[in-house]
Amino acid sequence: MSEIATKFPDLGYLLSVKGSAFEAVMGSEWAGKHAEIPLFQPPDAVGRLLERNQLEVSEIRAAMELFLSDARVFDDGSDAVDSVRSAYRELYLRLVPDFWNELEARLQGSFDNPEAHRRAAILGLSMFPTDPWKDPHSSKIWFAAGWASGQLKDLARAENYLEQSLALAPLDVLTLGELATLRLEQGRSEDGAALLNRVLELDPNNLLGLCNFAALYIQTGVADKARPYLERAKAIAPEDHFLKHLLGKLPPYDGVNAAG
Phi, psi of 152 (to 5 degrees): -85, 0
**pTM of the shown model:** 0.82
Question: Residue 154: which residues within 8 A CB-CB, separation 6 or more?
Answer: 71
Q: What is the pLDDT along the chain (260 residues), one digit of tens a residue?
A: 567 777 887 777 666 666 666 676 777 787 777 766 777 766 666 666 656 555 677 777 888 898 899 999 999 988 888 888 888 888 888 888 899 999 999 999 999 999 999 999 999 999 999 999 999 999 999 999 999 999 999 999 999 999 999 999 999 999 999 999 999 888 898 999 999 999 999 999 999 999 999 999 988 888 889 999 999 999 999 999 999 999 998 877 654 444 44
Burial of 112 from C-beta contacts in 10 A (0-12 / 13-18 / 19+): exposed
Question: What is the structure's pLDDT at 236?
Answer: 95
What pLDDT, on a 0 to 100 scale, did the predictor assign at position 256?
40
pLDDT at 223: 85
Domains in the chain: ranges and CATH: 171-260 (1.25.40.10)
* 219 vs 230: CA distance, rounded Å: 14
- Torsion angle of the four alpha carbons 234, 237, 242, 243, in this order, in degrees rounded to the nearest 10: 0
- Smallest CA-to-CA distance from 154 within 208, 117, 188 is with 117
* Amino acid present at 158: A
The whole-number pLDDT of residue 220 equals: 84
| pLDDT value of position 157 | 96
The pLDDT value recorded for residue 219 is 85
- How many Cα atoms are found within 13 Å in the side-chain-facing hemisphere of 136? 5
